Structure 1
Amino acid sequence: MKLLNKLGFASVKESTSQSRRKFLRNLAQAGMLLPVAGSMLGQRVFANTGSAQRVLFLYYPNGVVPYNWVPQQGPGAISGSQELSFGLGPLSSWHDRMIVLQNMTLDIGSGAGAHYNDMRGILTGNNEISRESASIDHLIAEQLGSEGVLSLGVRTGGRSDIMISKPRGYDSGARPIPNNDPADAAQKLAVGISGGGSSSGGSSSGGSSGDKQAYYEAILNDFDGLAEVTLDSARRDKLTLHENALKRLRDLAGNQVGECSFNTNVMSDPYASSSGQLTPNEWQMFPHLARAQIDNIVGAFSCGLNRVATLQLSKGDENGNLVNYSFDECWQMSQDAISQGIQHSNGSGTVGSITRWYNEFASHSASHRPGDVPHTAQVRWYHSLLAYTLQQLENSGLLDDTLVVMFSEVGDGSKHGGAAGAVTLAGGAGGALQMGRIINCGDGVNNGQRIYGTHQLFGDVARYMGATNLPESHWSGGVV
């Protein structure tokens, strides 16, 4: 009881253990134990109620090379942990934690045919939506609370009309630019949890992890007594969910997992707004920046700062030279592609004395000529970033109830169309989804037969996040 009083419940009588049990029993009967626990901790506590608790929208540019990305096995349960395709290869060890959606129609609205139109329509379904409308990430966040969307980017450029995420109150062509500086993002997140300017982060929950663990143990010790209380089945089920959530938080506190801290000593990108051609050394920064932003998102999820995040990787239209894939990791993947018989075509570029087929202009050509090594290597690298994301979520104890939605803005790989899009869902989604599947969403022909589109898919994602009252009816669901 002294611990409860220390945590702000001085009005609870200290006289006997029976008083505490009566207090907890009344909370349980009223369905209020979990919210009270959250207020004691200074953070939100969520039971696994069969729904996702967090969602990350992860955007990568230029689509895929269809026949180097499409799974080699057909629709249905993923049969094992082998590589499904060259593009999906890095996810082989996560085969039971993902759903591959092939030939999905990308609902990008009117005016399709250029990267920037496609990009700003991918999360809205229309690239010219009204000022008072919002993209699906913001629609979900609006219904979940006051945290809003954590919007981060890597070399997205400075054009407000090509940002994928749109809050209310912004014209469709004048959207806010996501934070492209991982160090700055980490610093701001650290301030958010510490209430001050500590660059090493901190905790807003009050007290040490030992205090938190003692609190969990004190509450859990009383669950045996609570279980003997006569409750109807629905309330018993709710009590079980509370108990499981507290056990998880106790374990996290004891293991120092999910600690509310951020590493602000990470790489900044001084070239984020550059309009000139980057040098090879500057190209090497891209994968490090991308992983640093993933770390920021996982940290924000761990600390309960946000439940919805959007990461935009580059600006799609590569002619501006803000993104170049001639970094060593992608170079190695292109060599792997060549060793497996994937051929490159004539779009080549020279860096010094070395010819690299995936330079800025060759990669853009590749997105119009499926089969090029540059584009294939890029796609494999982006899926390696998804594998990194899943590993970081698992390390933080968050994978089971988090959903990652990975998508691009280009469809069939030969045109800027909406057919044959490639989308991957990954994570645990709180047990709401049957993972380990491949779903065919259409016939793969540009402007051809549509089975499922992103309007339906994002409607599903919203409902699995508990956002069931979307203002637009076109988020219809029914895909997964």
Structure 2
Amino acid sequence: MKFLNRFGFTSARESTSRSRRKFLRNLAQAGMLLPLAGPLLGQKVFAATGSAQRVLFLYYPNGVVPYNWVPQQGPGSISGSQELSFGLGPLSSWHNRLIVLQNMTLDIGAGAGAHYNDMRGILTGNNAIGYESASIDHLIAEQLGNEGVLSLGVRTGNRSDIMISKPRNVDSAARPIPNNDPADAAQKLSVGISGGGAGGGTGGSDPDRQAYYEAILNDFDSLADATLENAQRDKLTLHENALKRLRDLAGNQVGECSFNTNVMRDPHYASSTPLSPSEWQMFPHLARAQVDNIVGAFSCGLNRVATLQLSKGDENGNLVNYSYDECWQMAQTAISQGIQHSSDSGTVGPITRWYNEFASHSASHRPGDVPHTAQVRWYHSLLAYTLQQLENKGLLDDTLVVMFSEVGDGSKHGGAAGAVTLAGGAGGALQMGRIINCGDGINNGQRIYGTHQLFGDVARYLGVGALPEAHWSGGVV
């Protein structure tokens, strides 16, 4: 290399030094901007946080079909990217970003016996929670800042007593109904980033700031290639993602800080009239639109805690019919793999007629049935979509997604043998890519870990200290 240098070639060391000098020069130019990182994003961008910066609680109804959901691998590290089970199949490419929690006790409170009683206790730890208490999402949000919880839903119905999220000083039977209209939610969030709404805003475009950030970002690749080991490069990637978000915040509602208000509206979320087949087809599009709204709010720093309630636990067929095409195709895949409906379904004619008639409420009471299995796979495909959207925005590494249902072992309404999935990361502090067995899998059987402990862990990984309710204890992950 010394000989080549005499003729004008650059050594690796000189290239490294030049990359560092250029990087530091651009960093210095933007130095006046860096202190704004925390207020804009609600996080410490340029230091290793060791904790998650945001959390999404993602609820789906009816539990799972255990023997079509439980991972084929045993507890421990996930060994590869093959499908863990039929229900978890859509998450195969995200295996290193998952913690699958099987046989977890769902702490929903004493006396729960119907779906709506179960579901209203899942985030409170008690279905008879008092007026002054709050669900875990609100308890976390209270300690993170003043943004509150972004509460969205898809066809949840209009009964306040069956909503899973409960603010403080609200009667348990009068819980607020989440916003079920993606277009309306997007419009409200857009107000939040235009300078006049809750959560603040960018106050207009600043081309100079954008240029500074672009200059720094242009140096990241060469700096990483020239100087960093794998662990350091991973840390730099976190900073690079944060810079991308700052760059877009410096614009005028561009990039991550924009919301698509041109999405479908759903007038049927509280309807008592049976929906038409074309209206069934809206459900997956509405669900993805609400995910997009949540990811957008996270990207813009409007909220750090969100709850998405997908339908409700008594599975009213007037709100959701799982005969929409995406779920139907998953049912056909299940059949092709030898998964069949249970023998107690009776003789109902061809599979098409059977599926349409039993795709809704009945599925939750026939845990071996193809429709229920297909529902579970579809909901986990929505989780995969959520992870992809978070990764696209540079948010996945420091976001936690907690996916759960309200019933345990599929056929009974008890809380044992629940299925919960953690996804994302926690600023590098949480080891992902694991399967944890939390109990013996028998209804009302031996308890090892429950959602009281898990949600206490989630709060801790969000940097939240002691919670007012002692039952959020931690100790699972």
TM norm structure 2: 0.83
- Tell me the equivalent position of 2:310: 313
Provide structure 1 residue ranges, at least 5 long, that are not aligned to the other structure: 1-19, 28-32, 222-239
SS at 1:72's partner residue? Answer: coil
SS at 1:479's partner residue? Answer: coil
- Tell me the equivalent position of 1:224: none
| Matched residues, number | 430
One-letter code aligned to 2:42: R
Q: What do the CA deviations read for 1:402-423 (whole angstroms, capped 9, x no partner)?
A: 0000000010112000000000
Alpha-carbon distance, 1:181 to partner: 0.1
Alpha-carbon distance, 1:369 to partner: 2.2
Q: Establish whether residue 208 from structure 1 lines up as the match of residue 206 from structure 2.
A: yes
Q: Establish whether residue 58 from structure 1 lines up as the match of residue 58 from structure 2.
A: yes
SS at 1:173's partner residue? Answer: helix
- Tell me the equivalent position of 2:368: 371
Match for residue 400 of structure 1 among 397, 400, 408: 397
Alpha-carbon distance, 1:209 to partner: 5.5
Check the 8 A contact 2:320/2:360 in 1, yes or no.
Answer: no
SS at 1:106's partner residue? Answer: coil
Tell me, in whole angstroms, the C-alpha distance in 1 between the residues paired with 2:419 and 2:298. Answer: 26
One-letter code aligned to 2:368: G
Alpha-carbon distance, 1:77 to partner: 0.4
Gap change, CA 1:81 and 1:203, over 3 Å in 2: same
Q: Establish whether residue 249 from structure 1 lines up as the match of residue 242 from structure 2.
A: yes
5 Å-filtered alignment, 1:37-436, equals: 37-39=37-39, 42-47=40-45, 48-195=48-195, 204=202, 206-208=204-206, 210-214=208-212, 247-252=240-245, 259-319=256-316, 321-345=318-342, 347=345, 355-359=352-356, 361-436=358-433
Alpha-carbon distance, 1:83 to partner: 0.4
Check the 8 A contact 2:108/2:415 in 1, yes or no.
Answer: yes
SS at 2:470's partner residue? Answer: coil
Gap change, CA 1:344 and 1:246, over 3 Å in 2: closer
Tell me, in whole angstroms, the C-alpha distance in 2 between the residues paired with 1:410 and 1:218. Answer: 49
What RMSD over aligned residues (CA atoms) do the two structures have, in Å?
A: 3.1
The more displaced of 384-393 and 265-274 is: 265-274
Tell me, in whole angstroms, the C-alpha distance in 1 between the residues paired with 2:354 and 2:431. Answer: 39
Check the 8 A contact 1:157/1:314 in 2, yes or no.
Answer: yes
Tell me, in whole angstroms, the C-alpha distance in 2 between the residues paired with 1:285 and 1:388. Answer: 16
Alpha-carbon distance, 1:347 to partner: 4.0
Gap change, CA 1:286 and 1:362, over 3 Å in 2: closer
One-letter code aligned to 1:153: G
SS at 1:355's partner residue? Answer: helix
SS at 1:259's partner residue? Answer: coil
SS at 1:310's partner residue? Answer: strand
One-letter code aligned to 1:167: P
SS at 1:152's partner residue? Answer: strand
One-letter code aligned to 1:387: A
Alpha-carbon distance, 1:444 to partner: 0.5
Tell me, in whole angstroms, the C-alpha distance in 2 between the residues paired with 1:312 and 1:331. Answer: 22
Tell me, in whole angstroms, the C-alpha distance in 2 between the residues paired with 1:34 and 1:477. Answer: 35
Provide structure 2 residue ranges, at least 5 long, that are not aligned to the other structure: 1-26, 220-232
% same residue? 80
Alpha-carbon distance, 1:114 to partner: 0.4
